[in-house]
Each structure stands twice: as structure tokens, then as C-alpha cells.
Amino acid sequence: MRFGATVLTRTRCEQIAPQAGGWIATLVSSSERRSILARAVVNATGPWVSRFVRDVSPVRTTHGVRLVKGSHIVVRRLFTHRFAYIFQSEDRRIVFAIPYEHDFTLIGTTDVDYDGEPSAVRIDAHEIRYLCSVVNRYFVRQITPAEVVWSYSGVRPLLADESSDASSVTRDYALELDRYPAPLLSVFGGKITTYRKLAENAVDMLASELGSRAKRWTATATLPGGDLPSGSFAAFLRTVERRYPWLPVNLRRRYARAYGTRIDRVLGDAASLADLGRELLPQLYEREAEYLCREEWARTAEDILWRRTKLGLQLAAADFKRLDAWLENRSARASLTA
């Protein structure tokens, strides 16, 4: 990785135990079980944060999280402009209607207290009806649950406070440091919008614990692919057009949006559409799929079609199976050449 980190996806930390003044961590994946010695551990497991402290570590924390389910629905687009609506429902909650992947509108969210397994969270019929009814109060065109083309749910690990109402629980975060036998930093709550501040505060706390004198550098750093030459997406898109005139407009736009300046790594030395390899599914060429496996840890069709892109919105279940078959062949080929 660019900064020397080793990233192990689909790997569970099953236990951390004190050893030699640090933590010995047991890491388990489907193919192996290994132990590593760590000078410090950060427990940034989101909705699992309290469970990690309770079941994986020997320490106790004072903070806790309240798990609140939030669901979104996606329908064919309800308006053509590029702005979002913020609606207030009768229960005073806020619901957004946001332009989504060009042809769709994203509507969300709900706030429902949740006590199940976070990875098993699913939208229920009541939430779908609720979201439809909120937008139906405002739009002329009325939608029904039958028009929902996709939905997704997540669990917010909200910093537990005194609120009785799930939508008014604080969206702030807390960092809790334990020093036995080495730093264990747990993250309670947080948002994507404040992720950088949260991460900087976490690293500051660890740096002083570990005696690091490294200089801070992240405040103005761009994310991978975000270093657009003039800071303007429109100008960047023109550069992409000049550089790859053979790329169809919709692919050019999607690649530029998804990968930014990393588009060069996706396309490599390709000089024509034929160089992108087979079109595995509509809009998905082998070269992009290879890039996602090679550099973004994609392993399954769901990784590629939902988590790394939203191409799944336009595809059928059988397409996912075809892509999974291609991925299986790819990994079989890779293990033959290894």
C-alpha cells in the first residue's frame, strides 16, 4: 500500500491479549489464522465497537453505543435537475430525495432502534411505506412500494446519550483510550463528514502514547484520485476527453467520477475500446474489473456491482452470477500462475 500499511479484508480480529508489553492479536480469515504482535490497537469497528471491547479484548470502557437502523430506497428518477430536496415529515424527521446514479432518486432515511446483528440489517415493509409517504406529501408524482428498484440499510453506532428518540441522539463521537498493557483506542459514534477530524484526533492520541514525532500532513491531503490538476471536475473531464478520445461519453464520465486521477491506473496502456477487454456486463469491461480486484480488494460480483460501483442498479440477478463465474475463473488462473 502507498504508505506501507497491510490491509487484510474479510479478516476478523478474534481476540487481543496482553503479551510482551503489547497486544497479541488473533486474526482469522476463511483461509488462515494468524497472530501478530501490535504496539497499539484501534477499535474502529462501528456498530460492533462495544462487542469488540466485551468479547475480543480484556478491557472495559465507559462509553457505549445506541444502534439505530437507517434505510434508503431507490426509485426511477422523480426529477431531472441535480439538486437535492430536504423534506420534513409529520413526525418532524428529515427525509432527503437526492439525484442518484443519473437515472434514479435516492430517498432516505429512517431511524429505528435496532438490537439485532448489524450485518443482518434489512429494510422492512413499514420503513418502505414510511419513506414513500413522506415524499408523496411533496411530489406531484406519487410513488408506491412496488416502484422501489433497490434499497439498503445500515446501522448507525450512535454515541449513547439520554435521548429517548432515535432521531435526536447525538451524531458526535468519543474516543476512549485504555493503556493496559498497551494503547487500545476505541471509537464510539462518528460520521463520514467528520471522519478526517476523528482520524486526526485518534492518531494524535496514539502518537503521544507511542512517542512518535512524525509531522502532521493530512489536513490538506486529497484522497486517492482526488488530486484534480486545477481542482475543477469540469476541467478534469475535458482533460480525460483529450487523453482518451475513444472512450464512450458515459464511460468517460463514470470513470472520471469514480476514479478521479486514478483513471490512468484503471485504463493503463489502453489505446482503444478493444484494449479494455471483454464487456463482461453492460458498461463493465475486463480492465475495470481487473483494477477493482487488483487495487480495491474486490472479490465478488456484489463487491464490484454494489460496493465499488452502482452498476447493479441496471442489472439482473443472472448478471451477478455471470460475473461471479468470471471472478472464480480469474482466481483459479491466478493460483495456477502463482
The stretch near ligand FAD (CB under 6 A) out of 44-52, 57-65, 175-183, 266-274 is 44-52
Convert 19-42 to b/e letters by CB count within 10 Å (16 or more is b). Answer: eeebbebeeeeeeeeeeeebebbb
| Nearest CB to ligand FAD, comparing residues 105 and 109 | 109
Length of the chain: 338
The stretch near ligand FAD (CB under 6 A) out of 59-67, 191-199, 241-249, 315-323 is 191-199
According to CB under 6 A, which one of 20, 86, 146, 192 is a site residue for ligand FAD? 192
| Angle 197-201-203 from CA coordinates, rounded to 5° | 115
The closest alpha carbon to 244, from 268, 226, 223, belongs to: 268
The stretch near ligand FAD (CB under 6 A) out of 148-156, 161-169, 251-259, 325-333 is 148-156
CA distance 85 to 108: 11
CA distance 204 to 199: 9
Tell whether residue 45 is a contact of ligand FAD (CB under 6 A): yes
According to CB under 6 A, which one of 105, 109, 151, 186 is a site residue for ligand FAD? 109
According to CB under 6 A, which one of 30, 31, 193, 220 is a site residue for ligand FAD? 193
| Nearest CB to ligand FAD, comparing residues 47 and 255 | 47
Which parts of 224-292 are beta strand (E)? 279-281, 284-285
Q: Footprint of ligand FAD on residues 5-34 (CB under 6 A)?
A: 12-13
Residues ≥6 apart with Cβ < 8 Å to 115: 67
Backbone angles phi, psi at 95, to 5 degrees: -130, 135
Q: What is the DSSP secondary structure assignment for residue 254, as one 8-state letter? A: H
The stretch near ligand FAD (CB under 6 A) out of 76-84, 185-193, 217-225, 289-297 is 185-193
Tell whether residue 128 is a contact of ligand FAD (CB under 6 A): no
Residue ranges binding ligand FAD (CB under 6 A): 12-13, 44-48, 52, 56, 70, 109, 154-156, 190-193
